[in-house]
Amino acid sequence: MRIALIATCLGDALFPDVAKATTQLLERLGHEVVFPAEQVCCGQMHVNTGYLKEAVPVVEHHVEVFERARFDVAVAPSGSCVGSVRHQQAMVARRAGRTDLAERATALAGRTYELSELLVDVLGVTDVGAFYPHRVTYHPTCHSLRMLRVGDKPLQLLRAVEGIDLVELPGADQCCGFGGTFSIKNAATSSAMLADKVDNICSTGADRCTAGDASCLMNINGGLTRGEKGVQTVHLAQILNSTRERVAA
């Protein structure tokens, strides 16, 4: 299958390893990955902060770039970015009176998937042949869980990973406190939410915390390193891309 990668703006600038892992994983599974190089951002940050008008050119750019590209399906290793594509882009366009753009955004959203959705629902794989010898706990991010309803798809994928010791995260469905600009505008509340998430992660005894969204992991990791908790964060794509050969290397 020809799969277009949405690297996400955050992934491109700060977490290139996540997009790299997604690329390598899909290529290893025998698919062709394309990266429409003009892509930037889905518009989520603007929308969630209330700058819906400012989001219009961002959304329009995203839609145009991916309309021009030739692919079967698009994938983003981010529940919130896919949530933004699927649930916000058309709304942003409609609110600005851009019915045409709303329809185009809806059509594009129809073939855009979050990584675990793509693997399990579209490509029909749960065992991607990964090897990851760590004790891992999984945080189901809010947008994956409640906006996309990915359910246990990430867990299906993780359970099939060789060598993994998957441990349940208490209070897993609770938000980590990121919420984009919420973490700045309501920093004290956000920090309190993060502190509880960090405590829950540490209570599992895991040495790795994973999730399907680099932004939530950035928040969680920020709390873990500040507290010197010794737990590392790793994106789901990175675990799935980890193989015996890579670990040996």
Partner 1 sequence: MTSGTFLGIPRRHRHEESPLRGETSFPKAAKTALANDQLRRNLKHATGTIRAKRALVVNEMPDWEQLRDAGAAVKTDVMARMPELLEQFEAKVIERGGVVHWAADAAEANAIVTELVRAQGVSEVIKVKSMATQEIGLNEYLEEQGIAAVETDLAELIVQLGHDKPSHILVPAIHRNRTEVRDIFLSEMTGVVEGLTDEPKQLAMAARSYLRAKFLSAKVAISGTNFGIAETGTVGVVESEGNGRMCVTLPETLITVMGIEKLLPRFEDLEVFLQLLPRSSTGERMNPYTSLWTGVTPGDGPQNFHIVLLDNGRTNALADQVGRAALHCIRCSACLNVCPVYERTGGHAYGSVYPGPIGAVLTPQLTGITGHDDPSASLPYASSLCGACYDVCPVKIPIPDLLVELRARAVDADRSRTIPGGWDAAMRAAAWVMSDAKRFAAVEKTLAVGRLVAGPDKLISTLPPPGSAWTRTRDMPAPPKQTFRQWWKESHPEGSIARSADPADTEQKDGHR
Contact between 36 and partner 1 by CB under 8 A: the answer reads yes
Nearer to partner 1, 164 or 208 (CB): 208
Q: Which of 130, 175, 237, 239 binds partner 1 (CB under 8 A)?
A: 175
Euclidean distance between CA atoms 7 and 17, whole angstroms:
10
**DSSP letter, residue 4:** E
Contact between 199 and partner 1 by CB under 8 A: the answer reads no
Euclidean distance between CA atoms 60 and 9, whole angstroms:
15
State the number of CA atoms in the 13 A half-sphere of 51 facing the CB: 11
Tell the smallest beta-carbon distance from residue 130 to partner 1 (Å).
16
Closest CA to 221 of 244, 240, 197, 241: 197
Contact between 173 and partner 1 by CB under 8 A: the answer reads yes
User: Which residues from 107-136 bind partner 1, rule CB under 8 A?
Assistant: none
Q: Is 233 helix (H, G, I), strand (E, B) or coil?
A: strand
Tell the smallest beta-carbon distance from residue 169 to partner 1 (Å).
15
Tell the smallest beta-carbon distance from residue 70 to partner 1 (Å).
8
Residue 155: exposure state from Cβ atoms within 10 A (0-12, 13-18, ≥19) = middle
Q: Is 246 helix (H, G, I), strand (E, B) or coil?
A: helix
Q: Which of 23, 89, 137, 204 binds partner 1 (CB under 8 A)?
A: 23
Q: Which of 78, 137, 221, 238 binds partner 1 (CB under 8 A)?
A: 221
Contact between 189 and partner 1 by CB under 8 A: the answer reads yes
Contact between 147 and partner 1 by CB under 8 A: the answer reads yes
**DSSP letter, residue 162:** B
Residue 239: exposure state from Cβ atoms within 10 A (0-12, 13-18, ≥19) = buried
Instruction: Indicate the helix (H) or strand (E) that contains 182.
Output: helix 182-185
Tell the smallest beta-carbon distance from residue 52 to partner 1 (Å).
4
- Which of these ranges, 87-95, 152-160, 161-169, 239-247, lies near partner 1 under the rule CB under 8 A? 87-95
Contact between 30 and partner 1 by CB under 8 A: the answer reads yes
